[in-house]
Amino acid sequence: MLDTQKILNYDFVESYLLTDMGHKLFCTFTNVEELDTLLYDLQNRYTILFDKIFVLKVHDQPEYVCTYNMDPHQVRTFPDNTILVHRKKESNTLYTINALNELIIRLNNGVLDKNFKIDWNRYRNCILLTKETEFKKLTTSLHQIVEIS
C-alpha cells in the first residue's frame, strides 16, 4: 500500500491558485492497487481535456503518476494526492515552480537567477518536485496512455 503521508508533502498548492490553471498539468500520485479506481474516478468526475490520461511509473518506488489536463472551469477541488506541474516537452520533464527554483539555486552556486539556462536533457523523463523544501527528482517511464471515449 502506498504511504500517503510520504506523497502528501509534494508541492501542493492552495485553492486560490485554481484561478490560474490555463497551462497547468494535473499530476496525481497513486499505487498499483488504487490505479484503476483512480482512472475510473478521474474519467467519471471530471472533464479531461484532450481525452487522454498518461500513466507514468516512478522508478525505484511503488508509485504511479497520472498526468492530465482538466477543464479549469469545472475544478472546485483537486483529486487527492494531486499537484499542478509544468511540462518541458523536449525532454518530457514535469516540474513545479518550487522545484525549478530549487534546481536553479543548486546549479547556480546558491543564486536564484530566472535567466539561468537548464540543460533539460539531464532531466529527461523525470518529475522535479520539492518535499518539505527538499528537492526531489523522480525518474519515470510511460506505463500506459488511457484514451477517453
Question: What is each CA distance from 102 to 9, 99, 108, 113, in whole angstroms?
Answer: 16, 5, 10, 11
How many domains are there within the chain? 1
Output 120 or 74, whichever has higher pLDDT: 120
Give me the helices (H) in 69-137, please: 97-107
Mean pLDDT, the chain, integer? 86
How much is the pLDDT for 76?
76
Q: For the segment 44-100, what is each residue's pLDDT rounded down to a tens digit?
A: 988 899 999 999 999 999 999 999 998 777 777 788 999 999 999 999 999 999 999
Round to whole Å and give the CA distance between 103 and 120.
11
Instruction: Quickly state the pLDDT bin for 4 (edges 50, 70, 90).
Output: very low
Taken in order 48, 49, 55, 56, the sign of the CA dihedral is negative
- Domain range enclosing 86: 4-147
Round to whole Å and give the CA distance between 1 and 113.
40
Please say if the pLDDT value at position 6 is more than 50. no
3-state secondary structure of 45: helix
How much is the pLDDT for 127?
97
